[in-house]
Structure 1
Amino acid sequence: MRLWLIVCFLFLLSNNFIWAKQDDEVRKNKRYMLRKKFKNKKIHIMENEPNKIFLQVQSKHIYDPTGVFRDMHNFALGASTIYFSRLMWGAIIFVIMFILVSIIGIQLKDDQWDVINYKDGKIVKLSQVELNNAVNIYNCENTTFVIENNKFKSLQIEKCVKCNVVLNNLISSIEIINSKKVKIQVLGKSSSISIDKCTGVEFYLSKENVECEFTTALSSEMNIHIQGQDEEWTEITIPEQFQHHLENGKLTTRVSDLYKF
């Protein structure tokens, strides 16, 4: 993909030089026709300075030095901006293409897969994740991700809305940060799960995760659906309300009576 971008950039760059050269030739032809017209009318011009444009004063047939300076400045400015404007447009197009390709998609950096800005509502399959790789899903919306490999290192989900993730086994943990309405199905085993600043998180865990550990902070509407030995699913609500009690200068905390298991 990057090679394709480089080829496009070189193509735009070459075209910019060609267009600028053509514009310069047009300007030279116009200047030549103007000089020829002045010669036919026997108007005094300086042969050794072809790039200067003189201002004719009809009454005296002389040139105004201030007008000459002004016209010379405008001509030089116009000639220099030809190349600059063409190159600027080429650079802008290249930057836009690079941003679009870089931000949307799946990229491997070191040992981490970055899955960024998917918002099309389709199913995205990750089939090249290896055992020592981590997966980072960032700023996605209304998309289902399927990690097909049997086992990988860790999973992090951040700033996602209405996303589903299906995976097999994890060596380390699952982290969900600042997300809403996220559903995760673990077909194999995960040792620990962390939830931070999230709303509406649901887990569907296989029977191998009966001893999974959860850590939550500033989160609400969290539910666990765990598969029993009889293949039946049991729903468990993760508490978000607690009761704290000071006794002999020590603080004790327990789950609110609202949660009855």
Structure 2
Amino acid sequence: GSESRSTKQVLGFYSVQGVELALQRYGLLDTIRSMGFEALRLEHDAGDSGYPTLRIRGRMGIAGPMVLLMELVVRRKKLPRPASSQLEGNLEVIWIDWLLLQDPSANFSLARPPLPGQEHPGLGIAHQVQELLVQACRRINLDGLSNNPAHYHNALGASRVFYFLEPEDQGRFKALYTTLKDRDLAEASALADDKQLCLSDGTRLGWEPNIQVLPVSKRLQLWVESDAYQEIAKATQDKLMELGLTIAK
């Protein structure tokens, strides 16, 4: 049936060989090898979530143990159109359920402390993985990439190219950023996670995961660039700042 086929295929389209080819073509495997990892192995299974899970394992040098370097769970998903938009119908995106990029051979330092949820330092290849997924969107004609960032630092790291689908969420994020931007990333993310921000009246605020999108289709690009989107985002940000958003004492 189509169900078993779609489990074998990534996004109902790519074979495992196709994925391996893409990882090779976009230089991802070479980048990982350049860090000293060898014997790279690509695994693909239904995963705990029931959605296709891709893993890359490798070892540092000849004698090192095989370690998990990348784990990616993606699927196609329909998103309801934003309430204030003029978009027709649902959006269809590549939904990133889970992306883990880690270098188990590296250590955290004072200059690079662990971020909330991190067991090992990152690999520094998130941008390449993202580019790969953008190309997949174009190939199968989807509106963009999307995820639900679990922590403030996830959203911040993506915010150069990702926007919150709802402009109110974008405005709230901008207000958090304005308030936290002078703190280092690990501290800022922990403050947001722990609801350590407040308004003048004492109302606590913190990180709330909401849908973020990287627009690929013209219609989604036009939405996040539209006056309507920008105005609502700005008004939401300004209101929170007027209400005295600050880090709680």
Structure showing greater radius of gyration is 1
User: Counting helix residues as a fraction of each chain, which structure ranks higher?
Assistant: 2
TM-score range, shorter chain: under 0.3
Larger strand proportion of the pair: 1
Task: Give TM-score scaled by structure 2 length.
Answer: 0.28
Taking structure 1 as the reference length, the TM-score comes to 0.27
Greater RCO, CA 8 A, separation 6+: 2
